[in-house]
Amino acid sequence: MSSCSIGIWIVKQRSDWLVVKSTAKAFVAIRSLFLIALIGAGLCCHKDNRATNCSADRESLQSVLAEDQRVAGLLREVDDMALRGKPLEAAIRIENDALPAMQKVVDRAEKVVVRTKWGEAQQRELLGLTQRRQELIKAYAKALRTEDLQKVLAELERQRDLEKLALEVQRKATRLPPGHAESCDQR
């Protein structure tokens, strides 16, 4: 083999090596782009899951809030009865209708299934609200049975204050957290 043919053979080998090396670099680049695309798709899906999780929690919490508001509506009817001069009938209505209904709401608030940190925080607030309403309903019925206007008025004021809390809990439970980021991750 002459030195010229050896030189050509070396150049040919190097060019083949460069082609192989270029192909390997292209493969690595394509594989990297593919992995980046998969990770990006996974992150997008994860963000969608976050929003889905928080939305599911919101729906679960809102169903309990709706039941709580039905009991609050029943209490307004009881208030009207008491204002018409029928406090004993109002107390009986509380004991027969409002208290059992409120117990169901408390039970549902305890058992509502949430998937996120945000939902867990909202559930704690909702449970506190429902338990507090249940206590106030019992105290209201007791005050109505005494027929002491001062006690009845004091219980009505406590219920009014509780309604402010109920509105705040409802506002928080109907709005998803800003950005849904970390608080919508699963617990």
DSSP code string of 153-173 = HHHHHHHHHHHHHHHHHHHHH
Confidence at residue 140, expressed as pLDDT on a 0 to 100 scale? 94
SS3 85: coil
How far, in Å, CA of 151 to CA of 161, rounded? 16
Task: Calculate the CA 146 to chain-centre distance.
Answer: 41
Q: Which residues pair with 37 in a beta bridge?
A: none
Contact between 81 and 93 (Cβ < 8 Å): yes
**Cα distance between the two ends of the chain:** 74
How far, in Å, CA of 17 to CA of 44, rounded? 40
Tokens describing residue 97: 């209708």
Confidence at residue 90, expressed as pLDDT on a 0 to 100 scale? 94
Cβ neighbours for 180, distance < 8 A, ≥ 6 positions apart = 47, 50, 51, 54, 118
Confidence at residue 23, expressed as pLDDT on a 0 to 100 scale? 56
Confidence at residue 150, expressed as pLDDT on a 0 to 100 scale? 92
Contact between 150 and 24 (Cβ < 8 Å): no
How far is CA 115 from each of CA 46, 52, 107, 119, rounded to the nearest angstrom?
14, 10, 18, 7
Cβ neighbours for 145, distance < 8 A, ≥ 6 positions apart = 87, 88, 91
Contact between 165 and 173 (Cβ < 8 Å): no
What's at 150, amino acid-wise? Q
Cβ neighbours for 117, distance < 8 A, ≥ 6 positions apart = 182, 183, 184, 185, 187
Contact between 115 and 52 (Cβ < 8 Å): no
pTM of the entire predicted model? 0.67
| Average pLDDT per block of 10 residues along the chain, 187 residues long | 52 53 55 50 47 83 92 92 92 96 95 90 93 95 92 91 90 74 57
